Amino acid sequence: MTGATRFPADGPGPGGAARETTEQMLGLVARGDQDAFERLYDRVAGPVLGVVRRVLRDPAQSEEVTQEVLTEVWRTAARFDPSRGGASTWVLTMAHRRAVDRVRSAQSATDRDAKVALRDHSPEFDEVAEAVESRLEAEQVRKALGSLTELQREAVRLAYYGGYTQREVSELLDVPLGTVKTRLRDGLIRLRDALGVPT
């Protein structure tokens, strides 16, 4: 198979291997017999690929999983229990499970990618939401400022948007400090009411 792990060369085994059962081959493989594995490989590779192909559909992935299954057969042949069914059934069941695992793994990866994409997208959504909220709040504040008297609006703008202290506002507007404090207090009360801020 293209790009697959290389197993011993294909070909009939010596001395009547054609009459050898799959169970017998698997028994020999369990004892590390590479020749027996060659014969077993020849016998089951096609059916294994067929089972995997029906589940995965994708030819390249099917070949890859088939090689994984046959490697697993080589490694785990000693686990085969003839009392629980035939050797071919054992190998093909292994193939089916491995193919289903591959499908599930691919689906999990897709789900993970989708979650990551959503998570990565969230900050952008939050930024947009915050920008819209800030704009709406700014519009509300502009309207609320419009409800103040000119004197209140001046004092609030200088103190809260200009960053001046109350004393500096008093000097800039050339009005007593007490008057500035009163304008700011009354202006803030009006703003609070206009913006619907609970007391």
**Interval 71-129: pLDDT, tens:** 999 999 999 998 888 999 999 999 999 998 888 887 776 667 666 655 555 445 455 55
Per-position DSSP letters for the chain, written without gaps between them: -TTPPPPSPP-PPTTTGGG--HHHHHHHHHTT-HHHHHHHHHHHHHHHHHHHHHHH--HHHHHHHHHHHHHHHHHHGGG--GGGS-HHHHHHHHHHHHHHHHHHHHHHHHHHHHHHHHHHHHHHHHHHHHHHHHHHHHHHHHHHHHTS-HHHHHHHIIIIIS---HHHHHHHHT--HHHHHHHHHHHHHHHHHHHT---
Locate the domains of the chain by residue range. Answer: 17-113, 124-195
Q: Does domain 17-113 have CATH number 1.10.1740.10?
A: yes
User: Between the ranges 9-13, 42-46, 133-137, 193-197, where is the mean pLDDT highest?
Assistant: 42-46
**Interval 130-163: pLDDT, tens:** 665 666 666 777 777 777 777 777 777 777 666 7
CATH fold, domain 124-195, is: Arc Repressor Mutant, subunit A (1.10.10)
Work out the pLDDT band at 197, boundaries 50, 70, 90.
low
Indicate the pTM of the whole model: 0.48
